[in-house]
Structure 1
Amino acid sequence: MSRAIDVPDRSLVVLVGAAGAGKSTFAAEHFLPTQILSSDHYRGLVSDDENDQGATDDAFEILHSVAEKRLSRGLLTVVDATNVHKHARQGLLRLARRHHVLAVAIVLDLPETVCVRRSTDRPDRSIRAGVVRRQHKDLQRSLKPLREEGFHKVHVLRDESEVNSARVRLNPLHNDRRHETGPFDVIGDVHGCRQELETLLSELGYHLNRDSSGRAVDAHHPDERRALLLGDLVDRGPDTPGVLRLAMGMADSGHALVITGNHEDKLVRALRGHNVRVSHGLAESLAQLDEAGEGFRQRVLDFCAELPVHYVLDHGNLVVAHAGLPERYHGRASRRVRVFALYGDTTGETDEYGLPIRYPWAREYRGKAVVVYGHTPTPEPEWENRTLCLDTGCVFGGKLTALRYPEHEIVSVPALRVWSEPARFPGAAAPGTNTARPTREEQ
C-alpha cells in the first residue's frame, strides 16, 4: 500500500531526519530540483566542500535568504537538512508565517542502525556513527512536540518500505479557484434577509427551487452563472435559517460559492459551545436555529465551519473576501490572512459610536485583481482602486447588492424594511435598481 502525503502547492516543506535517513533521495524523487534547498549544497557553495561543518552558519544564511525570496513569490519550497533541533525548525516556521504560507514537516524516522550504516558507507561523504546517533536521539525527542510547533501537517515515515512507497500529492489550497472563470454574481452581506435575497436572485435571472413546504432550497441560472456570497449571511435579520437553507442548497448543487464572514465565524464558535459574547444579532440567530431543529443546526455548523475566508478566481483576476484583502495576502493562508479577511484592519481608534475605525486599505491597493468585499455598510457600492464594497446595509433598511462579473454591472434591490437599527450606517439610498457600470478609474 502506498502512503499518500498531501502537500499544499504553495507551502514550505521541511524535511526532518538524521543523516542517512534518505532525505535528499526522497526530495529528488518527489520535487523539482529548483524547489529543493539543500544545506549540503549551500555548504559547498560557500566553502567548496559540502562536508565542511565550519561553513554551516554561512550556508544556512544563504538557504534562508533563497527560501525568503521563493516564499515571497508563493513558490513551493523544500528544505533538505537534518532539522532535528527545534531552533532550526523555528527559524523556518518564522519564514512561513512571514509570507503567509503553510508549513509541512515530512519526517524520515528510520531505525538508527539504517541511518548509521548508510552514513558510514557513503563513498562521497563519511559521517561518524556517534554524530548520526546523536541526531537520531535528538529526532526522537522532537517527534512528540513537533506537532505542536506550528506545522500545518506532520507526516512521519518510519521505515524504508514506507519511504519507498510514499507518494507526494501537490494540492491547491481551498481558496485557489483560479481555474473558475465565471460568470459570477457576487452578492453582499445578506444578514438573514431571506426575502430580499430571493428577490435579488430573481432580478439576476436565477430560478428558485422550492421544497414541498414552499421554502427556497436552491436557485439556478439558465446561463450557468454562479452566485458568490460574501459572508455575513446570518444575524440581525428575520430569517437566518431561510438564508442558510438557500445558500447551502446552492453550494451543494454547485450553483454558488460561499465564503465566511465574521458573523459566521462567531456563530460556529457559539454552536460549538465556546464562550462568546452573544450580541449583534447572534442571540436571534441561535433562537431561530433552535426552532429549525438539531439536525439543521448540525448541518449549519458543518457547512459554516468549512467555509474559506477568501477565494482567488478567474486566473487571479478576481478575489473575494468578506472584509477585503491586500494583494500580499491573495492565495495565502495564515492566521493574519484569516483575521484580515474576516475583520479588515483597524487604526486602533474608535468613532463616536464606540466602533473601531477601519484602516482604509483599499486606498493603497494597486493589485491587478479586482477585490470584491462587504463587511462595512455604505449607502452605495464604492469602487476604489479596483476594489468594490458591496455591503449596502440591507438589514439596516438599505439595499442588497450584487456585482455581475465580468460585466461589472451593479444590481440592487431595496430592503423591505429596517430589520435592525444600525449603530453606524449613513442611511439608505432611494429604492431602485442601479446598473451603473464603473469607469476605468473607478475600477
Structure 2
Amino acid sequence: MRTLLLFRGAPGCGKSTYIKEHNLEQYVLSADTLRLMCQSAQETPDGQMEISPQNDDVVWEMLFKLLEVRMSHGEFTVIDATNSKTVEMNCYKNLAKQYRYRMYVIDMTDLPIEECKRRNAQREWLKRVPEAAIDKMYARFATQKVPSGVTVLPSTTDVMSDLNYCPNDFNQWKKIHIIGDIHGCYTCLSEYLGEMKDDELYIFVGDYLDRGIENVEVFKFLCDVVNNNRKNVILLEGNHEHWLNKWGHDKPVQSEEFANYTRPQLFKAGIDKNTARKIYSRVGQCVYFEYDGKRYFVSHGGLSYLPYFLPFVSADQMIKGVGRYPDILTVAESWEKSMPDSYIQIFGHRNVQDVPIDMGHRCYNLEGKIEFGGYLRCVELEHGQPIKCVETKNDVFRKEEPKTETAVEMKTEFDNAELVSKMRQSKYVFEKRFGDISSFNFSREAFYKKHWDEVSTKARGLFINTKTNKIVARSYDKFFAVDERNETRIGNLQNTLKFPVTAYLKENGFLGIISYDAEQDGLFIASKSTPDGPFADMFRKILMDTTSDEDRKNLKEVAKENGSIIFEVIDPVNDAHIIEYKKPHIVLLDIIANDMNFSVMDYDDLKRVAEKCHLQIKEKVKTFENWSEFYPWYEEVMNENYLHHGFEHVEGFVLRDSNNFMFKLKLPYYKHWKFLRGVMQSVQKRGYYENTAKLFTAEDNLFYGWMREQREKDQESFCKKGIIQLRNEFYASQQKS
C-alpha cells in the first residue's frame, strides 16, 4: 500500500492541474512551495516576479527530510517537481526501496516542446520560467531516463483508478483461513494448520514473533513460505515486524522484548539479518477481496471505514489500527455505520476489552493472547457456509517474564552490604549521610532519562545503617503510571497483572516514613530522603498535632515489630499541591518490612493498626477479580469529567495485584491542573508563558489571560498565590461574568 507518485515534465506541462483535478493537494511535497517558504517571490529587472532558486540546497534537503518522515509512517506521497535528472529519481528510488514503497512516475514529457513553451508564456509571471530552462529540461528528458524498476505511467492515467487497491476475486479457493497473531507460538499454530491444502488460502494478519518461546520455529515456517513461494499464503505486517526489519537493516532496536529475548533465539539458531530482510520484504499491509458474494478487508490493526482510494490510508494505520488500543469497539461501530452490509472486516493486534472473535458490527477480532496461554484465533470462509470462528488453546508459553536490563521488578537477590556497594557505584543513585545512617534515592538523571534498573528502583526513601548494613527505614520501590513503561501500557497490563487487583485512592501530598529508632528507643521520622529539613518537620508537626502520646507509643511498638510505616502527608498551608484539602492531616498507606523484599501488611491488619493508633487509613476503592471487571472501571475513571464518589476531584489511584506489583493512575483533572501550575509559575516569574500552543482548550487560554491580568493589577499579591487559590479565584470570576 505504500505508494510514491512522481511527475516528470517541464513547467507548464500540466502537473499542478492534474494534482488539483485528482484532489491530491494534501499529499503533495512541492519544491516551489518550499522555495516560497524559504524566500518570498523576488522582483526581476524587467519588472516581474519570480521564485528564487538560490535556496535550493536547503529546499531539497527539507523536501527529502519531509519525504522520509512521511515514508516512515507509510503515507501516500506525491512529488511535484520536474524530475528531469536520473540522479534525482535514483534518490527517490533508494528511499522507496528502504521503506518498501511502490514507485510510479507519471510521464508528461510527451507534450511537444512548442506547446509547453506556449503554455509557459500564458502562465502568471511568478510561475513562468525562461524558455532556455525548458530547452534544457527537454534535452535532459531525451538523454536521462527513468531508472529501471520504476513503473512509468502515461499522462492520460487516471491515478484514482489505476493505482487504487481493488478487491481481488478469491472465489477460486475452496476455503480461506484468516489466522490471528501468532507471537512465537508454533505448536499451537501447527495444531491448527495440520496439513496445509493447496486448494485453500491462508492469510496471516501479522505479529509472528515476540513473547512466545517458539520464535525460531515460527521463523522457519515463514522461511518455508517465502523460499518455496507458496501462492496460497498471504503474510500481512504486524507492529512487531517493525523490530525484525530494524534488526535486519542494522538499525537500533528499541524493543526490550525483541532485543533481549527474540533476537538471541534467532541468533542462536543461526538466523542471519539477510534472512530477516527477506522475510520482511514479503509482508504486505492489507488484503481486500471478494468471496461468496461478500467483500472482506483484512489488516493487522483495523480501520473505521474504507476510503474510495485505499492508498490514502497510511501503512501506520493499517498496521497499528485507527485510534488507541481501547478504541476497537468504536472502530467496529464506525465500520457498521459507514460500510454496506456486504463488507466484512477482520483484524488482530488489540483486544483490551476481551471481546470475542465475532465482535458484531461485521468485524472480527483475531487477538486472543496466544502468547500468554490464550488462543490462536482464526476465521474460516467456505462457499455456502456461514463464517466460522475457531479458537485453538495454546499450552506452550512462557510462564515467567524474561529478565531484561531494565526490568522494573528486582530479579537479583542482593544482601544489604552488596546493595549498598552497588548503589554507591551507580551514577543514578545519590547518597545522603546522617552519621552511620545513609539515605539512598534515585537521581534526577535517572528520573528524567528513565534509567530504571534493579538498583535505582530500590533507591527510593531507603535508609540503611552502613555500619551494620541493616535497613533502618524504607519506602516503596519505584513504581510507574499507566503507559509510562512497557509493562504498564494498557495494552500489556492485562497480561502483566495477577488478579485479584485492588485499587486504593491516591492522596495528593508527600510521603512520610516512620520506623523504630533502636538507639533512642523512639520513632525515626523522615521525608524526602532526610530525617531533617522542612518536609520531615512538617510531617513531625502534623503527627504530633493529630495523635496522642498513647497513639505514638503504639506506633513505636508497631514499627518495632513490623518495619516502616508509610504515610501520605497533606499540608495545605505549607505545601499545597493540586487537589484542595481543608486541613493538615496524615493518611496511613502501608506498613513495609525493613528488608529488601517488598513485603506489605495485609489491609485488614493495617485497619487494626489504624484503629489502635487513631489514624486515617487510605481508602480501599475496589477489588477486581479479573480484567473484565477492571477495564470498564479504568475507562470510567479516566474520563475527563470523572468525580470520585460523584462529587470530588482526586489525584488518582494506586493499584496492587496479588504479586505486589504496583502501578498508578493519574487522572485527567490532576494532570491538566499540574500542567497549568507550570503555566502559572512561568507567568509569576516572567509575566508570560512561552509555549502557548500547548494551551489547547478555551479554559486554558481564558485562565492564562486572566492570570496575566491579575499580575498586571498586583504583581506582588499574584506571585504569592498557589494554583489552588488562583484556580478558585478564576472560577469565581467566571461565574460573575
Q: 2:3, 2:311 within 8 Å by CA — same for their partners in 1?
A: no
TM-score (norm 1): 0.58
In the superposition, the TM-score normalised over structure 2's length comes to: 0.37
Residue 275 of structure 2 is aligned to residue 299 of structure 1: yes
Match of 1:278 in 2: 255
**Does the 8 Å contact 2:164/2:311 carry over to 1?**
no
For residues 225 and 184 of structure 1, what CA distance do their matches in structure 2 show?
Answer: 6
Deviations 1:222-249 (CA, angstroms, capped at 9, x unpaired): 5x11111110010011111211221332
Partner of 1:269: 246
> How far apart, in 1, do the equivalents of 2:192 and 2:139 lie?
53
Alignment of structure 1 residues 383-398 onto 2, 5 Å:
383-398=359-374
Task: Give the aligned CA root-mean-square deviation in angstroms.
Answer: 4.8
2:335 to 350, 365, 387: 365
**Across the two proteins, how many residue pairs are aligned to each other?**
322
5+ unaligned residues in a row in structure 2: which ranges? 38-65, 86-110, 401-491, 496-625, 629-737
Given residue 302 of structure 2, which amino acid in structure 1 is its aligned partner?
G
The structure with the largest alpha-carbon Rg is 2
Mapping of 1:372-411 within 5 angstroms?
A: 372-377=346-351, 378=354, 380-406=356-382, 407=385, 408-411=387-390
Q: How does 1:216-295 map to 2 (within 5 A)?
A: 220-222=196-198, 224-251=199-226, 252-280=229-257, 282-295=259-272
Does residue 159 of structure 1 match 2:136? no
Q: Distance in 1 between matches of 2:223 and 2:494?
A: 30
1:17 has 2:7 as partner? no
TM-superposed deviation, 1:193: 0.5
Q: Is 2:403 the partner of 1:333? A: no
Residue pairs, 1:95-114, within 5 angstroms? 101-103=76-78, 107=82, 109=84
Q: Name the CA distance, whole Å, in 2 between partners of 1:116 and 1:228.
A: 48
Shift of the 312–121 alpha-carbon distance from structure 1 to 2, 3 Å rule, reads closer
Q: Is the 8 A contact 1:310 1:322 kept in 2?
A: yes
Matched, 1:313 2:289: yes
Say yes or no: does 1:86 pair with 2:64: no
Residue from 391, 400, 404 that aligns with 1:412: 391
Residues 167, 310 of structure 1: alpha-carbon distance in 2 compared, 3 angstrom cutoff: closer
Aligned ranges for residues 415-426 of structure 1 at < 5 Å? 415-419=394-398, 423-425=493-495
2:247 partner amino acid: A
Of 118, 130, 135, the residue aligned with 1:134 is 130
Share of identical aligned residues, percent? Answer: 15
Over 3 Å counting, the alpha-carbon distance change for 1:245 and 1:331 in structure 2 is farther
SS of 2:210's partner is: coil
Query: Displacement, 1:381?
Result: 1.2
* Counterpart in the other structure of 1:56: none
CA distance 1:158–1:235, change in 2 (3 Å): same
CA distance in 2, matches of 1:317, 1:341: 17
Offset at residue 306 of structure 1 (A): 4.4
> What is the aligned partner in structure 1 of residue 539 from structure 2?
none
Q: Is the 8 A contact 1:157 1:163 kept in 2?
A: no
Contact (CA 8 Å) 2:11, 2:82: kept in 1 or not? no
Q: Are the equivalent residues in 1 in contact too, given 2:84–2:144 (CA < 8 A)? A: no
Letter in 1 for 2:33: K
Q: Deviations over 1:413-438 (max 9, x none)?
A: 1111443666315689xxxxxxxxxx
2-structure distance, mates of 1:342, 1:307: 11
Matching residue's letter, 1:390: L
Quick one: which of 161, 168, 180 aligns to 2:153? Answer: 168
1:195 aligned to 2:173? no
Contact 2:237–2:283 (8 Å) recurs in 1: yes
* Match runs of 1:337-356 below 5 Å: 337-347=314-324
Asked if 2 retains the 8 angstrom alpha-carbon contact of 1:85 and 1:139, the reply is: no
Residue-by-residue CA offset, 1:18-57 (whole Å, 9 max, x unaligned): 34xxx36xxxxxxxxxxx9848xxxxxxxxxxxxxxxxxx
| Cα deviations by residue, 1:135-155 (Å, 9 ceiling, x for unpaired) | 765999xx9xxxxxxxxxxxx
Contact 1:101 1:332 in 2 (8 A): no
Rate the CA distance shift 1:135–1:237 in 2: closer, same or farther, 3 A: farther
CA pair 161-411 structure 1, distance change in 2 beyond 3 A: same
CA distance in 1: counterparts of 2:180 and 2:116, whole angstroms: 64
Amino acid at match of 2:11: A
Equivalences for residues 110-129 of structure 1 within 5 A = 118=114
Give the AA of the match of 1:270.
W
2:648 alignment partner in structure 1: none
Distance 1:311 1:249 in 2: 21
Structure 1 residue 302 displacement after superposition: 2.1
Which residue number in structure 2 is paired with residue 437 of structure 1?
none
Q: Deviations over 1:61-104 (max 9, x none)?
A: xx73x432x899xxxx9x9xxx87336999xx99x99xx64425
Distance 1:180 1:286 in 2: 36
* Residues 125/101 of structure 1: CA separation in 2 closer, same or farther (3 Å cut): closer
Kept after mapping to 1: 8 A contact 2:346/2:363: yes
TM-aligned CA deviation for residue 186 of structure 1: 0.2
Q: 1:135 to 1:380 in 2, by over 3 A?
A: farther
SS in 1 for 2:314: helix
Question: Residues 266, 343 of structure 1: CA spacing in aligned structure 2 closer, same or farther, 3 A cutoff?
Answer: same
Superposed displacement of residue 273, structure 1: 2.8
2:320 maps to a residue whose letter is Y
Change (3 A) 1:417 1:299: closer
Which residue of 315, 322, 326 maps to 2:300? 322
* Distance in 2 of aligned mates of 1:423 and 1:9: 32
Amino acid of the residue matched to residue 415 of structure 1? Answer: N
Amino acid at match of 2:394: A
Judged with a 3 Å threshold, the aligned counterparts in structure 2 of structure 1 residues 393 and 331 are, in CA distance, closer, same or farther, namely farther
Per-residue deviation, 1:345: 3.7
For residues 186-213 of structure 1, the C-alpha deviation after alignment (integer angstroms, 9 at most, x for no partner) is 00011000011000002xxxx2xxxxxx
Partner of 1:350 in structure 2?
none
CA distance in 2, matches of 1:331, 1:420: 45
Show the counterpart of 1:147: none
- Alignment CA distance shift 1:329-1:246 (3 Å): farther
| Secondary structure class of the residue paired with 1:231 | coil
Q: Could you say which residue in structure 1 is the equivalent of 2:168?
A: 178
Q: CA deviation at 1:126?
A: 5.9
Displacement after TM superposition at 1:301 (Å): 2.3
